[in-house]
Amino acid sequence: MDKGTYALVMALKSEAAIIVGRLSRSGGTGGESEITFPAGYYVYFGSARCGLSTRVGRHLKREKRLHWHIDYLLQFAEVVEVWYSPEGVEVELGVRKKECLWCQVARGMPQGQILIPGFGSSDCRCPAHLIYFPTLPSFELFRQKLDERGYGAIKASPIDFKRRMVD
């Protein structure tokens, strides 16, 4: 898989207070503050301009250098599903990335909400690329909403996604 868009669906079994790199830096005090993540499900949206399988594979690894916002959350949450589309990335109305469209669709789903403004969206104008759901979000509903816009997505377990990376 080369280019593509992906969503990591994660379960956080209990509330966690996490320092999330630069996002946790408090304004001018020089310290870092923890961000409280309530228990539930989180969906993180991203893209890979090349190497979709490599990017998602990195996210699925337990041991890694903490670089992106999502790396900090993945120390506490477990990826339960991977939603992806191995297609072009940068074409949504000529301006927006497909990951931004996916995130917008998820925000419009029942119970979808932004809890941590700015999470994962430092390179676009979206309010965040992490959407919280108190219960497991419906991939079928997500795919239906994408289909209405002329896009598609595939769902896989983390193990199945890794297997497909090898094929």
pTM of the full structure: 0.89
- Tokens standing for 69? 């916002």
Amino acid letter at 165?
M
Backbone angles phi, psi at 93, to 5 degrees: 60, 25
pLDDT the model gives residue 89:
40
Backbone angles phi, psi at 113, to 5 degrees: -150, 155
Tell me how many domains the chain contains. 1
Q: Domain containing 27: what range? A: 4-166
Mean pLDDT by 10 residues, the chain (167 residues): 88 95 61 87 92 91 89 96 77 62 96 94 90 98 94 94 78
What's the pLDDT tens digit per position in 76-113? 999 999 999 987 544 444 435 889 999 999 999 999 99
How crowded is residue 36: how many other Cβ atoms within 10 Å of its Cβ?
11
Give the span between the Cα atoms of 33 and 46, in whole angstroms.
25
pLDDT the model gives residue 28:
46
Give yes or no for a contact between 73 and 37, defined as CB atoms under 8 angstroms apart: yes
